[in-house]
Amino acid sequence: IFKDYVNGFPKESDMPFNSSATVHLKLPDDSNAVLLKNLYLSCDPYMRARMNKTEGSYFEPFTPGSTILGLGVSKVVDSGNSNFKKGDLVWGGTGWEEYSIINAPQFLFKIQDTDVPLSYYTGILGMPGMTAYYGFYEICAPKKGEYVFVSAASGAVGQLVGQFAKLTGCYVVGSAGTKEKVDLLKNKFGFDEAFNYKEEQDLDAALKKYFPEGIDIYFENVGGKMLEAVLLNMRENGRISVCGLISQYNLVEEEGVKNFFCVITKRLLLKGFIIIDHFNLYPKYLEMVMPLIKEGKICYIEDIVEGLENAPSALIGLFSGKNVGKQVVVVARE
Ligand code: NDP
């Protein structure tokens, strides 16, 4: 349950667990809804924005006292909607609960291919995968040989951006917050170089070391000091895909960005996006990524915790870098 609006870092006590709810596993005969059994839930940084009272954001705030909403993989248990039938596997908008009634299933996709881990539909085959695909290919228009930098590079989105960049023939460097993550970037995902940004006193100097000729493409996941250092190191006509600013999400007031004049002098393109606007490209993305997964040309790391009661701590962990790869919560396996 979402207890109340949050100031600063969320705590587990902001998301108390209610074990007393009852479930009717049959919808009323006149219902148009879909009844879901939730299997895997996705922990995503944007959920923090829904804990603010702020009106006018691209997502409605959560309602205090109500179930937390998010994305997940579920099984249809009953359906009054002609697009879904009992037994279908779906991914999309659901609740942080064992069973959910979805009255308006606009953001629910039927899962066609079950030849891959089902949890992948919270990650590489779901919203984060689409985010990496759109933000990298559509916004950055990468070319072979270009210099690419990715922040929060080992996460749900970043690990894919790096691998897409390698498949395009780019030189790729990633930053992450632990040695374990840096090792993953270099040894598992095939980044050319990686560094722990928490150990660098001078981010500008670190970027100069890894990009002596500058950066063509920056895939922005974090904002703050990293963005300031990146702006100094961009090449002329570079592109910045502004995907996320996680370093700012728990601040009461967003910090300003220094070095912004570089956008003019270096003729940079900065483009922000909200991935839900671009799901018309989802079939095209699946067509590209599914063979890459099945042929082993791309890999995907998940951080899986068991049990709905552990979802709050898993979500909070995103903001201190506790997760290694895509953070998934298992509610039930079938
Ligand atoms: P991740 O799986 O990457 O998890 C978040 C990671 O961010 C943490 O593991 C941590 O890694 C890093 N992090 C946390 N706090 C900070 C901080 N203060 N400074 C720097 N890094 C920090 O999340 P996702 O891949 O799901 O999301 C990545 C970004 O993409 C987020 O900003 C998210 O909001 C954005 N996003 C945007 C979408 C859109 O439509 N525009 C859609 C989906 C995601 P580390 O250990 O490396 O610090």
Coil, strand or helix at 146: coil
Bridge partners (DSSP) of residue 151 are none
Q: How confident is the model at residue 20 (pLDDT cuts 50, 70, 90)?
A: confident
Asked if residue 56 has pLDDT above 70, the reply is no
pLDDT at 63: 96
Q: Per the CATH hierarchy, to which homologous superfamily does domain 12-123+301-330 belong?
A: Medium-chain alcohol dehydrogenases, catalytic domain (3.90.180.10)
What is the average per-residue pLDDT within 122-151? 98
With a 6 Å cutoff on the Cβ, whether 319 touches ligand 1 is: yes
pLDDT at 22: 84
Q: Per the CATH hierarchy, to which homologous superfamily does domain 127-276 belong?
A: NAD(P)-binding Rossmann-like Domain (3.40.50.720)
pLDDT at 254: 87
CA of 156 to the centre of ligand 1 (A): 8
Chain centre to alpha carbon of residue 61: 18
- CATH 3.90.180.10 residue ranges of the chain are 12-123+301-330
What is the average per-residue pLDDT within 199-213? 98
What is the average per-residue pLDDT within 16-25? 88
Q: What is the pLDDT of residues 73-92, one digit of tens each?
A: 999 999 999 999 999 999 99
Coil, strand or helix at 207: helix
pLDDT at 334: 92
Residues in the chain: 334
Asked if residue 55 has pLDDT above 80, the reply is no
Mean pLDDT, all residues of the chain: 97
Distance, CA of 29 to CA of 22 (rounded, Å): 19
Distance, CA of 244 to CA of 152 (rounded, Å): 10
Give yes or no for a contact between 88 and 76, defined as CB atoms under 8 angstroms apart: yes
What is the average per-residue pLDDT within 80-105? 96
With a 6 Å cutoff on the Cβ, whether 162 touches ligand 1 is: no
With a 6 Å cutoff on the Cβ, whether 159 touches ligand 1 is: no
CA of 188 to the centre of ligand 1 (A): 19
pLDDT over 70 percentage in the chain: 100
CA of 144 to the centre of ligand 1 (A): 26
Q: What's the complex ipTM? A: 0.99
pLDDT at 303: 98
With a 6 Å cutoff on the Cβ, whether 221 touches ligand 1 is: yes
Looking at the CA of residue 44, tell me the nearest atom of ligand 1.
26
Match 């579920």 to its residue by tokens. Answer: 74
- CATH 3.40.50.720 residue ranges of the chain are 127-276
Distance, CA of 250 to CA of 45 (rounded, Å): 10
Distance, CA of 68 to CA of 268 (rounded, Å): 38
With a 6 Å cutoff on the Cβ, whether 274 touches ligand 1 is: yes
